[in-house]
Amino acid sequence: MTKRPLSDSEKLLALVQKKRLRGLGEREAVAELALDHAELVALGQKLEEDGQVRILSFAPLFLVSKDSLDYLCRKTVAQISLYHKRRPNDKGISFEKLKTRFDASGRILHLALKILQAKGEIREDGPSFALMSFEKIFPPRQEIQLRKLEEMIDRGKFLSVSLEAVRQELRVSPPVLQKLLEVLIDRKKIVQGKEGFLLHSRWLEEIIAKLRSRGRGELSVADFKAMTGLSRKYAIPLLELLDRMGVTRRVGPGREILHSNHL
């Protein structure tokens, strides 16, 4: 029985699948299929609509198969997990180290990492990538210091805690205290404002919940001071932080409460 000849679309898909994690460039596709740019783009778009490929660029055309991309996402999560087990004190694995683990195009690996971040499976931590659930493991003594520091900031609510008093109670040097603060910020336990102030994430979430319960509308500085119990000196920088987070928006002398939540 004579086999049906493959269509141009099927030939393009076969070429993309053959290239696996390296991806298929336009020059290679033209050499194999003898189609012009417009024809290749049309075929690529149809395959993308059918969920069989992803187009990374149009000029020149660059494609990767959906199966290969899904495979890379799974292998990336597994590789990051393995890295955490081997190096629990590291923040995460770098892009370059990930790239050496796979015979993959850098553009395709970038796309896989973006997909995993969008799904909430991994996070980008400076130059490294870590699982969303990962926390660096520290010696027991340091974990006790972190817990005490978090409790002190939580009790202090907003700017009523003295970092010098904290440093003396924990009996640590200024550089060590700064390192402890950075760890809590990385763990999303505390938030540091642009002006350098520190507050516990739980307290900030409570403030945002109270604002949202008011519904969308105007918020004066006086209203905010009454709600939080803060003086104007502290209320203004906190409002500016909420502006940057997209919780409020400055309108004249006051604020407008927004619906979107960027916390």
Do both 219 and 239 map to the same domain? yes
Q: Which two three-digit tokens encode residue 103? A: 């015979």
Query: Range with the lowest mean pLDDT among 35-49, 113-127, 215-229?
Result: 215-229
Could you tell me if 46 and 95 lie in one domain? no
Quick check: is 103 in a domain? yes
Domain with 58 in it? 8-64
**Residue 140 covered by a domain:** no
* Count of domains observed in the chain: 3
Do 14 and 47 belong together in one domain?
yes
pLDDT at residue 161 in the model: 59
pLDDT (average), residues 77-87: 93
pLDDT, mean of residues 122-132: 90
Q: Which of 47-51, 128-132, 230-234 has the lowest mean pLDDT?
A: 230-234
Is residue 237 assigned to a domain? Answer: yes
Give the type of residue at 228.
Answer: T
**Do residues 124 and 110 share a domain?**
yes
What percentage of the chain exceeds 70 in pLDDT? Answer: 93
Does residue 47 sit in the same domain as residue 73? no
Residues recorded for the chain: 263
What whole-number percentage of the chain has pLDDT above 90? 43
Record the pTM: 0.59
Question: Do the domain assignments include residue 101?
Answer: yes
Quote the pLDDT of residue 229.
83
What integer pLDDT is reported at residue 79 of this predicted model?
96
Final residue in a domain of this structure, among 81, 109, 131: 131
What is residue 212's predicted lDDT score, i.e. its pLDDT?
Answer: 86
Indicate whether 263 pLDDT > 50.
no
Q: So what's the pLDDT on residue 261?
A: 47
CATH number at residue 59: 1.10.10.10
